[in-house]
């Protein structure tokens, strides 16, 4: 398979998946509220999805190592579609929870399997480029999705869910007809790969990389959960203005991720991870100083650029160094990311209630913890850290 032909296909798949997912983000709170959900139930409705992804991502990753990437990606996309249609047809709160649980379980297959696909088709030299392309597709999809969802919310609260479900069906058939399997039969049957488990992951030589991703995700989701309140108090920004700010940040982050091929070839993953963490920490500090739209956009973009290059670089490094299958490796990485997204909003909310700047001070601390974890990893590793 030629890399330049396959990566655009994977980009399109993840972009469409994330557009469909993003469409329902601004709608779901109002939809749940209309069905009588309390603020606590709404919080649980958001958290249950990430919890299912935390539990099931490693399973899907391991399964893709055995049966191939394409069928597992198709299962994940079909699961998303089913969950969207179930949400559209829900008339009671328990039906919303059922739809989110089903969606979380099945869609947990998407990200780790697509990343494993990238690892299958790329050399060590091009691995960073491939992971960056997937990161850019994810980020861009998450920018356009909520914008589309917000537009159709004014028409009917059910409409965005039907649009997302239909888009997922279209993506399903796109994968079926266009995407070719990346995992050959000989690789599927390869018994030389080590078996993976939670015990081997948290105690293994690569454990620091997984924990690093957890702390990065924890700090990011804490910011996402509290920044709207912080920006309103510090700079008087409303929801529409915040949407523009996050769009600017997302576009800048996607642009940098799309340039990961050149960056990793020049500097290597190790340098990019360290610099990305340090830029994120600086971004957290600058966010405390926002005064208006311009400063908020600039400072959040600085943070987004630093944060955006970390996940693709960690994914690239892990799939190079891990002795287990690519699917298992990326599955556990997705689990650590989901765990951070479960705990982050809770931690951010608690810290914000104590002092409005505390989530961002804690973000600096968590970034430094991630940096120290990476230093521990590099000190323990006797192998070269990059392809350069």
Contacting residues for 384 by C-beta, under 8 A, at least 6 apart: none
**Model confidence pLDDT, tens digit, residues 152-164:** 767 778 889 999 9
| pLDDT for position 370 | 97
Domains plus CATH for the chain?
1-177 (1.20.1250.20), 200-388 (1.20.1250.20)
Contact (CB, 8 A) for 384 and 269: no
| pLDDT for position 384 | 47
Smallest Cα–Cα separation from 331: which of 62, 27, 107, 1? 62
The dihedral over CA atoms of 187, 190, 193, 194, expressed in degrees to the nearest 10, equals: 140
Q: What is the mean pLDDT of residues 347-369?
A: 95
For the cut 90, the answer to whether the pLDDT of residue 167 exceeds it is yes
| pLDDT for position 187 | 53
CA distance to 81, 307, 378, per residue, from 269 (Å): 35, 14, 12
**Model confidence pLDDT, tens digit, residues 335-348:** 999 999 999 999 99
The C-alpha atoms of residue 308 and residue 300 are separated, in whole angstroms, by: 12
| pLDDT for position 155 | 72
CA 382 vs. chain centroid, Å, equals: 30
- With cut-offs at 50, 70 and 90, classify the pLDDT of residue 39: confident
**Model confidence pLDDT, tens digit, residues 91-109:** 999 999 999 999 999 999 9
Torsion-angle region of 290 (φ positive above 0: left; ψ -120 to 50: alpha; else: beta): beta
Residue 92 exposed, middle or buried by CB count within 10 Å (0-12, 13-18, 19+): exposed
The C-alpha atoms of residue 261 and residue 282 are separated, in whole angstroms, by: 24
Tokens in use for 209? 């990389």
């Amino acid at each position: 398979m030629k890399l330049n032909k396959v990566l655009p296909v994977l980009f399109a798949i993840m972009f469409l998946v994330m557009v469909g997912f993003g469409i329902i983000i601004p709608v779901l709170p109002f939809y749940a509220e209309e069905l009588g959900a309390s603020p606590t139930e709404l919080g649980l409705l958001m958290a249950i999805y990430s919890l299912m992804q935390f539990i099931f991502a490693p399973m899907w990753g391991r399964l893709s190592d055995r049966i191939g990437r394409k069928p597992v990606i198709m299962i994940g996309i079909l699961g998303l579609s089913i969950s969207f249609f179930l949400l559209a047809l829900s008339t009671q709160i328990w039906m919303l929870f059922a739809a989110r649980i089903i969606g979380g379980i099945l869609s947990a297959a998407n990200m780790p399997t697509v990343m494993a696909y990238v690892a299958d088709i790329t050399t060590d030299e091009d691995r960073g480029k491939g992971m960056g392309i997937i990161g850019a597709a994810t980020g861009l999809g998450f920018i356009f999705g909520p914008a589309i969802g917000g537009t159709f919310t004014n028409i009917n609260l059910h409409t965005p869910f039907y649009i997302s479900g239909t888009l997922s069906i279209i993506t399903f058939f796109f994968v079926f007809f266009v995407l070719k399997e990346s995992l050959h039969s000989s690789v599927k049957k390869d018994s030389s790969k080590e078996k993976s488990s939670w015990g081997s992951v948290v105690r293994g030589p690569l454990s620091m990389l997984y924990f690093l991703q957890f702390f990065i995700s924890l700090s990011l989701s804490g910011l996402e959960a509290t920044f709207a309140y912080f920006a309103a108090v510090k700079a008087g920004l409303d929801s529409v203005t915040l949407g523009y700010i996050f769009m600017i940040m997302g576009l800048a982050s996607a642009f940098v991720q799309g340039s990961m091929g050149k960056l990793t070839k020049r500097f290597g993953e190790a340098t990019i991870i360290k610099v990305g963490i340090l830029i994120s920490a600086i971004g957290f500090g600058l966010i405390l100083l926002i005064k208006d739209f311009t400063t908020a956009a600039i400072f959040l973009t600085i943070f987004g650029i630093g944060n955006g290059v970390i996940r693709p670089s960690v994914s690239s490094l892990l799939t190079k160094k891990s002795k287990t299958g690519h699917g298992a490796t990326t599955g556990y990485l997705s689990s650590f990311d989901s765990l951070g997204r479960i705990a982050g909003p809770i931690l951010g909310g608690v810290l914000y209630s104590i002092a409005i700047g505390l989530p961002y001070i804690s973000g600096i601390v968590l970034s430094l913890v991630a940096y120290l974890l990476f230093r521990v990893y590099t000190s323990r590793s006797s192998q070269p850290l990059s392809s350069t």
